[in-house]
Amino acid sequence: MSDPDKTAVIIVAAGRGTRAGGDEPKQWRELGGRTVLSRSVAAFAGYRRIILALDPDDMARGLAEFRGKVTLIGGGATRAMSVRNALESLASSGMTRVLIHDGARPLVSPALIDRVAAALDHAPAAAPALTVTDALWTGAGGRVTGTAPRDGLFRAQTPQGFHFPAILDAHRAHAGDAADDVEIALAAGLDVAIVDGEEENMKITWPADFARAERMLKDRMDIRTGNGFDVHAFTEGDHVMLCGVKVPHGRGLLGHSDADVGMHALTDAIYGALAEGDIGRHFPPSDPQWKGAASHIFLSHAAALARDKGYALSNADVTLICERPKIGPHAIDMAAELARITGVEPDRISVKATTSERLGFTGREEGIAALATVTLVRT
């Protein structure tokens, strides 16, 4: 079975893409408010080892956009050389499989990636493709010169997956360039399985492809919601931290971190929308380094994870449940602080409060509870 921790991802983006027009290489042009390349990288957010092959002239830009998320290497004069450089950088990594993807295919879906990865359980190589259904012609000088049979023809896509040692050996034995890595695998005698490709998994090549990709993005509706709930008991102290704001109070809140119950609920709501568990999964309370930690560390991580997976925080609603302290005088500042940490406009964050009418532990002023709901939208 595919193991993301043992599967590396290579994204090839060292070309200049001159056929696509524009003042800069196509992978660095914006598509729906994000660069083409950032969308391609975000599609593989579930994989921990991502190698990005760039033109040496693009390294500074790559560092600015992807620092801490991927490993950058210099690409070669040809696509095959770029892939070979990336493979060699992984030679001692212990990776057992590799997925090789074109940086100019920004709309690849998680389902397609999973199909390729799963096919490697039964074959040393696998790649997505679409059956050719149109009639095929030959031509010259603007005229049709003949027809060609389309039986058994496929339109190749990426990512193309391989057992790592096999494709590394194949590249080492291959001289010259190749259209893709399947060509190199076939030359080495590897059996390549075909999995279903997707029309949306287009490769941006021509100027008109940007408009087509924009239309596909608008048609792609992916909205996620998440809920978070947290409780912290009162203890000795002279203030409480709520939604990033220090609020004077006759007692403090008890917790492993700074016990910011509102921020914890919001953080868990984001993790929940991403199906990424809760704070405890990412910051275990058994780890002493998080004792007394500022909760903005957790919220920043959750917000960054959402962005890395291709989602924007559309809105968040946080409700604090307590008799005291009074939240109203601080609510606007709390919303502004949460917006700053998550990187969104303040009008996308709501912070409000309610009491429990003197019922339950909050009514007895034994602690504070918080409920948060978020909406994430794929960008």
Predicted confidence band of residue 151 (pLDDT cuts 50, 70, 90): very high
Higher per-residue confidence, 200 vs 310: 200
At residue 116's C-alpha, the angle toward residues 39 and 81, to 5°, is 65
- pLDDT tens readout for residues 208-233: 999 999 888 877 778 999 999 999 99
Q: What is the pLDDT of residue 2?
A: 63
pLDDT at 299: 96
pLDDT for the residue numbered 1: 54
Maximal C-alpha separation, the chain = 88
Q: 3-class SS at 259?
A: coil
Fold observed for domain 4-219 = Spore Coat Polysaccharide Biosynthesis Protein SpsA; Chain A (3.90.550)
Distance CA 99, CA 92 (A): 17
Q: Are 28 and 116 in contact (CB under 8 A)?
A: no
In DSSP notation, 152-187 reads T-EEE-S-EEEEHHHHHHHHHH--S--SSHHHHHHH
Model confidence pLDDT, tens digit, residues 44-93: 988 989 999 999 999 999 999 998 889 999 999 999 999 999 999 999 99
- CA–CA distance from 360 to each of 222, 250, 356 (Å)? 38, 20, 7
Going from N- to C-terminal start, the domains of the chain cover 4-219, 223-378
Q: Is the per-residue pLDDT at 290 higher than 90? A: no
Q: 78-92 as b/e, with b when 16 or more CB fall inside 10 Å?
A: ebbbbbbbbbebbee
State the average pLDDT over residues 274-298. 90
CA pair distance 82, 78, nearest whole angstrom? 6
Q: What is the pLDDT of residue 21?
A: 79
Question: Domain 223-378 maps to which CATH number in 3.40.80.10, 3.40.50.1100, 3.30.1330.50, 3.40.50.970?
Answer: 3.30.1330.50
